[in-house]
């Protein structure tokens, strides 16, 4: 047997990913933008020049200046500091919801694909959930447990679950059709081991790609819920809530609303662009 | 039936004359030859069989003749493709479109994917007809029905309205042949036309191709990995290995006295239906990838007869007996196993 | 017949598998069944090979999967070493899987892409506790040697191997738990001729060395003739002819077997046009023709063939044929027996 030198596909997946991203300038800018935003969010307690909650009635609705980079809001709070803390909360909301919804959705999708008997029941349930707008869910949850961060997370998770379940089911069905799954069954693996060791690892890249694309939407949705007053309650800084608070002064101090809005915009935009390029790189169906 | 004994008029010009034809694969800085200086001729009403395993370059060769190599990464690196005396290699894409489907047509291995699922069979034949002729749509339709009848599809008036998914694999391959023959091409290239089909259906398709050839005089290039199919269909055979022709002979001569160790190996590793065998004699090792071809004779690492000459010098394709060409330094040493 | 007195490793009795096709519709109508397997019976002795031959859609792959209960049979029995596989509980079945293994056709989809070759071969050993974690690497290396792979390739992933090498890994994985039966589902169809011969030789060597039995599913009659002791020819879910290699290849009785044999292209240009070319396509399995399933394509079909389904009839103690007219047909137009067919073909245009 002649053994040919190992194939180039042996490089570390992380490095391969970065190299692939590096070839596209738009992705590079998005990655830089996203990194900055994430750093701001993560380091908010150390970087923020002011306490985001401290009120200073002598400096109300000031425009951007050297003292306050982004100006101050209706209660004289520093918008720069509040934006950093708001970003932190917004991102955290999105991630938690994606994590919870992604996990439950993956579980449902895999079960539906693996046990055809549960398929109809699970997927019809998902269809029912999918037929409610997420905003309506937020309203319902807020009505039951009261407005707040928990309500937003529940609403976002519930509305993410059926989408993930569909994607996971499709990916799992494709994997289940492969002979290696039959081969695992033929050596006598338990269903659970088969799912965990054979099906899940081969679906995971498809699901992760979908989740990164969904993250942007979830963040936008979370901010919208907060904007409507269903989410985080003032004075806690959250980008959606902050944007809502500035509406009253929009005509003479637009920056109070615009700054958190633009932050959300940049965050979601760069996430979407990165999610797209990630999909191009990772999705096996798009790879040649 | 002595169709393989048809004598080609001496000095008659071949329909297709391939000279020093090469196709290369370019990826980054490495250039690897997939088809390496190939020469052969195809005559009117005759079938040329090209045999080889996957990776030997036979499919690239057929795509190259049509100028359909996926470019990049592949490209035609030199040589001539003379169709009735005119070279196709320098032709523009536009000129090639005139040639393809009209003077040279092609059928592929996979009858399931080579038809467009959203159009009826009739529409696809009519489309092929009208691309190269000035038939009215009514004329084209009746010609399409005739073609379907010629390829042995029963009830063609009805079948013309069917969508491909309603037809079986064998039927689809018949439709593909009808499309390929629509404009009475000079050359038909059939790339593994029966590989995806069952044996009994394969027998039907081979029968059909044989009778069409004797009716129309179209020259056929039949590409296959199956020596049985080649023996059954071809008049002349070309055996390819690692992008080069290593043996070229009339079909009777090739199967009676296979001379290259690779051809012998292929025949020795084929289990036969008639008679019992002691043990198969496989060729050891695998076909080298295009970027890593050995020096000298490309077959030497897998060859029992290889010596110093084989490792360093490439054997030329030389005529050993009349009409029987072999590229081997040791021809004549090994008899058929 | 000496082998008939040996204890069979595998006994298959009247195995049937029906698939429901199409949705039930709102009111329970419109559901059709495909009889992928319809009353298949055979036995396999220790160290022997039975080949299941047929064209696509004849049910041969379903048979392989149903034998191993990767598909649940509709009725019938499969006994492995005397134990009923069809009735086994989930946990008994898992334990029994040690005794029966499968090698698939496509070596590019039959190996878990994210496991190394060593992990793939070690997995069944660890699962069935054939080897401890300590000794498993040794055992894997020994198996690698057995199937003709080098030990330094153990930690590579499937995509780093060629098709033939992958099939060797799949065989090593099947052998890892020392099974008494391996179902080979077209194991060489996806490979090149020269590689195909390597794998066939490997399979026969392993059988001689380890005494494992094979159910060898294939459409390639050349391969089947080379590797098998006994052959069953399937058509639309039924066995139409079954016998030893000699009986089937030298004295084929069923018109379908005869057509199959004559349709194989021979590497011999002088063989041309001695073929029986069957007309038509395989009928739709949802609505097979009444009577004999082959009647719609058979050149000898008479009225009775369209009305009554022929049963397997013993032409010899080991040779069985399901045809109303096998006695009159002779074998392959008397090519081997010298007995000409007495039943004229009714070929009509």
CA angle centred on C288, ends C286 and C291, rounded to 5°:
150
Of B196, B327, B191, B179, nearest in space to B249 by CA: B327
User: Is B271 within 8 Å of C197 when comparing Cβ atoms?
Assistant: yes
- Number of Cβ within a 10 Å radius of residue B156: 19
Query: CB distance from A2 to chain B under 8 Å?
Result: yes
Percent of chain B beyond pLDDT 70? 94
> Residue C5: what pLDDT?
55
Helix and strand numbers, DSSP H then E, in chain C: 11, 12
**Minimum distance, in Å, between the CA of residue B70 and any CA atom of chain C:** 23
Cis previous bond, C113, omega within 30: no
Q: Per the structure block, which two tokens stand in for A212?
A: 């990164």
Regions of chain A short of the pLDDT cut 70: 1-14, 283-288
- Judged against a pLDDT cut of 60, whether residue C92 lies above it is answered with yes
Write down which chains contact chain A via at least 3 CB pairs under 8 A.
Answer: B, C
Contact A230, A223 (CB under 8 A): no
Rg of chain B over CA atoms, in angstroms?
21
Position with higher pLDDT, C308 vs C21: C308
Contact pairs from chain A to chain B, CB under 8 Å: 8
Q: How far is C195 from chain A (nearest CA, A)?
A: 11
B199 neighbourhood in chain C, CB within 8 Å? 55, 219, 221, 260, 263-264
Q: Of the candidates A246, A232, A206, which has an alpha carbon nearest to the alpha carbon of residue A94?
A: A232
pLDDT attached to residue C3: 47
- C-alpha distance from B65 to closest chain C C-alpha (Å): 24
- Kindly list the residues of chain B whose beta carbon comes within 8 Å of any beta carbon in chain A: 285-286, 288-289, 292, 301
- Give residue A101's Cα distance to chain centre: 10
Which residue does chain B place closest to C204, by CA atoms? Answer: B279
DSSP-derived 3-state class of residue B16: strand
Find tokens 């079938």 and name the residue: B47
Which of B285, B288, B292 lies closest to A1 in CB terms? B285
Q: At what angle do helices B121-131 and B137-150 cross, to 10 degrees?
A: 110
Nearest-10 Cα torsion for A56, A57, A58, A59: 70
Chain C residues close to A201, C-beta within 8 Å: 114
Q: Which residue of B has its CA nearest to C223?
A: B271
Give the nearest partner residue to C55 out of B198, B271, B287, using CB atoms. Answer: B198
Is the distance from CB of C32 to CB of C20 less than 8 angstroms?
Answer: yes
**Structural domains of chain B, ranges and CATH numbers in brackets:** 12-241 (3.40.50.300), 243-337 (no CATH)
Highest mean pLDDT among B99-108, C241-250, C284-293: C241-250
Q: Is the pLDDT score of B287 beyond 80?
A: yes
d(CA A236, CA A242): 9
Does A288 reach chain B within 8 Å, measured CB to CB? no
Residue of chain A nearest C120, judged by CA positions: A184
In the predicted structure, residue B50 carries a pLDDT above the cut 70: yes
* Lookup result for tokens 């063939």: C305
What is the reported pLDDT for B292? 83
Round to whole Å and give the CA distance between A206 and A168.
Answer: 8
Q: For residue A162, what pLDDT is reported?
A: 94
Most C CBs within 10 Å, among B162, B165, B198, to test the C interface: B198
Taking contacts as CB-CB distances below 8 angstroms, the residues of chain C near A2 are none
Within 8 A of A197 by CB-CB distance, chain C residues are 112
State which residue of chain A sits closest to B291, comparing Cα positions.
A4
Asked if residue A235 has a cis previous peptide bond (ω within 30° of 0), the answer is yes
C101-130 confidence digits (pLDDT tens): 999 998 889 999 989 999 999 999 999 988
**Calpha distance C152→C136 (Å, rounded):** 16
Q: In this predicted structure, what is the pLDDT of residue B101?
A: 83
Does residue A287 or residue B105 have the better pLDDT? Answer: B105
| pLDDT for residue B10 | 47
pLDDT confidence band for B9 (50 / 70 / 90):
very low
Interface mutation target, options A5, A178, A188, A203, chain C, most CBs of C under 10 Å:
A188
- In whole angstroms, what is the distance from residue B250 CA to residue B268 CA? 20
CB contact under 8 A, C97 and A188: yes
The chain-wide mean pLDDT, for chain C, equals 86
Please give the pLDDT value at position C17: 93
CB C102 to CB A188 under 8 A?
no
User: Would the CB atoms of B199 and C55 count as touching at under 8 Å?
Assistant: yes
For residue B286, list chain A residues with Cβ-Cβ distance below 8 A.
1-2
Q: Which residues in chain B touch residue A4, judged by CB atoms under 8 angstroms apart?
A: 289, 292
CA of A199: which chain C residue's CA is closest?
C112
Q: Does A7 touch chain B (CB under 8 A)?
A: no
pLDDT at C348 over 50: no
Chain B residue numbers with beta carbons less than 8 Å from the beta carbon of A2 are: 285-286, 288, 301
**C342 pLDDT above the threshold of 70:** no
Q: Give the pLDDT score at B128.
A: 85
Å between C27 CA and nearest CA of chain A: 17
Q: pLDDT band for position C69 (50/70/90)?
A: very high
Chain A contact for C106 (CB, 8 A cutoff): yes
Check if B264 contacts C (Cβ < 8 Å): no
State the count of interchain CB pairs (< 8 A) between A and C: 71
Sheet architecture: strand order including B86-87: B30-42, B16-27, B74-83, B86-87
Of C218, C316, C279, C234, residue with least CA distance to C39: C234
Q: Which CATH superfamily is domain A21-44+77-282 in?
A: MetI-like (1.10.3720.10)
| pLDDT in the model for residue A279 | 78
User: Does C65 contact A at CB distance below 8 Å?
Assistant: yes
* Residue in A closest to C103 by C-alpha: A183
* Predicted confidence (pLDDT) per residue in B212-228, tens digit: 888 888 899 999 999 99
Which chain C positions have a beta carbon within 8 Å of B232's beta carbon? 265-266, 269, 271-272
Q: Tell me whether residues B204 and C278 touch, CB distance under 8 A.
A: yes
Q: By the CB < 8 Å criterion, does C29 face chain A?
A: no
Of B1, B199, B283, the CB nearest to C194: B283
Q: What are the backbone dihedrals phi and psi of residue B214, each rounded to the nearest 5 degrees, phi first?
A: -70, -25
pLDDT tens digits, B183-194:
888 899 999 888
Contacts of C226 in chain B (CB under 8 A): 271, 276-277, 280
So what's the pLDDT on residue A2? 34
Q: Flag whether pLDDT at B64 surpasses 50.
A: yes
Task: State which residue of chain B sits closest to C164, comparing Cα positions.
Answer: B286
Which residues are paired to B17 by β-bridges?
A: B41, B82
Closest by CA to B53, choosing from B337, B286, B261, B231, is B286
Residue in chain B closest to A1 (alpha carbons) equals B285
Separation CA A258–CA A23 (nearest Å): 33
Taking contacts as CB-CB distances below 8 angstroms, the residues of chain B near C260 are 199-200
B301 with A2: Cβ contact below 8 A: yes
C197-211 pLDDT, tens digit each: 999 999 999 999 999
Closest approach of chain A CAs to the CA of B109, in angstroms?
20
Higher pLDDT, A90 or B114: A90
> Distances from the Cα of B231 to the Cαs of A23, B47, B227, in angstroms?
52, 11, 6
Among C213, C128, C206, C199, smallest CA distance to C163 is for C199
Report the run of H or E that residue B156 belongs to, with start and end.
Answer: helix B156-159
Tell me which chains share at least 3 CB pairs under 8 Å with chain B: A, C
User: Is the CB of residue B131 less than 8 Å away from at least one CB of chain C?
Assistant: no
Residue A114's region, left for phi above 0, alpha for psi from -120 to 50, else beta, is: alpha
Q: How far is A4 from chain B (nearest CA, A)?
A: 9
Pick the residue from chain C with its C-alpha nearest to B54.
C192
pLDDT at B197: 84
How far B50 CA lies from chain A's nearest CA (Å)?
26
Say if the Cβ atoms of B53 and C219 lie within 8 Å: no
Nearest-CB residue to A1 (from C156, C160, C165): C165
Percent of chain C exceeding pLDDT 90 equals 51
What was the pLDDT predicted at B58?
A: 87
CB contact, 8 Å: B279 with chain C?
yes
Q: Which residues of B touch C222 (CB under 8 A)?
A: 270-273
């Amino acid at each position: 047997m002649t053994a040919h030198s190992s194939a180039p596909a042996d490089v570390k997946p992380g490095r391969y990913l970065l190299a692939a991203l590096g070839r596209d300038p738009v992705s590079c800018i998005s990655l830089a933008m996203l990194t900055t935003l994430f750093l701001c969010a993560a380091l908010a307690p150390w970087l923020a020049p002011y306490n985001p909650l401290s009120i200073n009635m002598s400096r109300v609705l000031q425009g951007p200046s050297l003292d306050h980079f982004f100006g101050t809001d209706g209660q004289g709070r520093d918008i720069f500091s509040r934006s950093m803390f708001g970003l932190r909360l917004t991102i955290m909301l999105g991630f938690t919801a994606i994590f919870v919804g992604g996990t439950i959705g993956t579980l449902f999708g895999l079960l539906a694909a693996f046990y055809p008997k549960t398929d109809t029941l699970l997927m019809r349930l998902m269809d029912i959930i999918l037929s409610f707008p997420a905003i309506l869910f937020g309203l319902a949850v807020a009505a039951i447990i009261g407005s707040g961060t928990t309500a937003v997370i529940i609403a976002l998770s519930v509305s993410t679950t059926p989408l993930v379940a569909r994607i996971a089911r499709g990916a799992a069905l494709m994997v289940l059709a492969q002979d290696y799954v039959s081969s695992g069954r033929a050596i006598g693996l338990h269903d659970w081991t088969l799912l965990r060791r054979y099906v899940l690892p081969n679906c995971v890249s498809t699901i992760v790609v979908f989740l990164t694309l969904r993250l942007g939407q979830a963040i936008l949705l979370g901010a919208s819920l907060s904007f409507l007053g269903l989410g985080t309650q003032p004075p806690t800084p959250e980008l959606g809530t902050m944007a809502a608070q500035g509406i009253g002064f929009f005509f003479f101090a637009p920056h109070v609303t615009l700054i958190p809005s633009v932050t959300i915009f940049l965050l979601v935009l760069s996430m979407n662009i990165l999610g797209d390029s990630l999909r191009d790189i990772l999705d096996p169906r798009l790879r040649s | 039936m002595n169709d393989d004994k048809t004598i080609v008029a001496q000095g008659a010009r071949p329909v297709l004359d391939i000279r020093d034809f090469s196709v290369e694969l370019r990826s980054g800085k490495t250039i690897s030859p997939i088809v390496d200086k190939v020469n052969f001729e195809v005559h009117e009403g005759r079938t040329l069989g090209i045999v080889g395993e996957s990776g030997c370059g036979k499919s690239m060769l057929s795509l190259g003749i049509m100028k359909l190599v996926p470019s990049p990464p592949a490209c035609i690196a030199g040589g001539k493709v003379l169709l009735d005396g005119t070279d196709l290699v320098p032709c523009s894409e536009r000129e090639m479109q005139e040639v393809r489907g009209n003077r040279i047509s092609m059928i592929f291995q996979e009858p399931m994917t080579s038809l467009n699922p959203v159009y009826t069979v009739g529409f696809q034949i009519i489309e092929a007809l009208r691309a190269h002729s000035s038939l009215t749509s009514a004329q084209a339709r009746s010609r399409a029905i005739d073609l379907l009848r010629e390829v042995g599809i029963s009830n063609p008036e009805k079948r013309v309205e069917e969508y491909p998914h309603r037809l079986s694999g064998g039927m689809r391959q018949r439709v593909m042949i009808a499309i390929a023959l629509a404009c009475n091409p000079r050359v038909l290239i059939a790339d593994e036309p029966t590989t995806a089909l069952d044996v009994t259906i394969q027998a039907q398709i081979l029968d059909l191709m044989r009778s069409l050839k004797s009716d129309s005089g179209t020259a056929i290039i039949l590409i296959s990995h199956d020596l049985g199919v080649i023996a059954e269909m071809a008049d002349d055979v070309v055996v390819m290995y690692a992008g080069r022709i290593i043996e070229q002979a009339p079909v009777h001569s090739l199967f009676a006295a296979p001379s290259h160790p690779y051809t012998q190996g292929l025949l020795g590793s084929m289990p036969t239906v008639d008679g019992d065998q002691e043990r198969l004699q496989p060729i050891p090792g695998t076909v080298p990838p295009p970027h890593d071809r050995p020096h000298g004779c490309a077959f030497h690492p897998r060859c029992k007869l290889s010596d110093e000459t084989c490792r360093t010098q490439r054997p030329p394709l030389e005529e050993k007996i009349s009409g029987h060409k072999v590229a081997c330094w040791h021809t004549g040493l090994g008899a058929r196993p | 017949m000496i082998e008939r007195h040996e204890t069979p490793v595998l006994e298959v009795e009247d195995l049937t598998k029906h698939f429901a096709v199409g949705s039930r519709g709102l009111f329970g109508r419109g559901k059709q069944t495909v009889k992928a397997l319809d009353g298949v019976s055979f036995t396999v002795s220790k160290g022997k090979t039975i080949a299941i031959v047929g064209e696509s859609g004849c049910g041969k792959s379903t048979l392989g999967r149903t034998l191993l209960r990767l598909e649940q049979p509709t009725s019938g029995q499969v006994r492995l070493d005397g134990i009923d596989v069809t009735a086994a509980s989930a946990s008994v079945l898992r334990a029994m899987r040690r005794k029966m293994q499968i090698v698939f056709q496509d070596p590019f989809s039959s190996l878990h892409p994210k496991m190394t070759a060593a992990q793939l071969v070690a997995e069944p050993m660890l699962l069935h506790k054939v080897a401890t974690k300590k000794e498993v690497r040794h055992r894997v290396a020994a198996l690698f040697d057995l199937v003709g792979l080098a030990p330094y390739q153990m930690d590579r992933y499937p995509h780093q191997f060629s098709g033939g090498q992958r099939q060797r890994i799949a065989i090593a994985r099947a052998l890892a738990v020392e099974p008494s039966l391996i179902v080979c589902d077209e194991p060489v169809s996806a490979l090149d001729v020269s590689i195909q011969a390597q794998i066939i030789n490997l399979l026969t060597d392993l059988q001689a060395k380890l005494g494992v039995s094979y159910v060898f599913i294939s459409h390639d009659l050349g391969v089947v003739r080379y590797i098998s002791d006994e052959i069953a020819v399937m058509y639309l879910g039924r066995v139409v002819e079954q016998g030893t290699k000699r009986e089937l290849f030298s004295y084929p009785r069923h018109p379908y077997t005869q057509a199959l044999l004559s349709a194989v292209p021979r590497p011999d240009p002088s063989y041309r046009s001695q073929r029986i070319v069957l007309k038509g396509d395989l009928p739709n399995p949802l609505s097979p023709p009444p009577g004999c399933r082959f009647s719609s394509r058979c050149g000898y079909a008479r009225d009775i063939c369209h009305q009554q389904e022929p049963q397997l009839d013993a032409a010899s103690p080991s040779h069985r044929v399901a045809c109303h007219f096998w006695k009159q047909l002779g074998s392959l137009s008397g090519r081997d027996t010298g007995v000409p067919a007495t039943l004229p073909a009714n070929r009509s245009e």
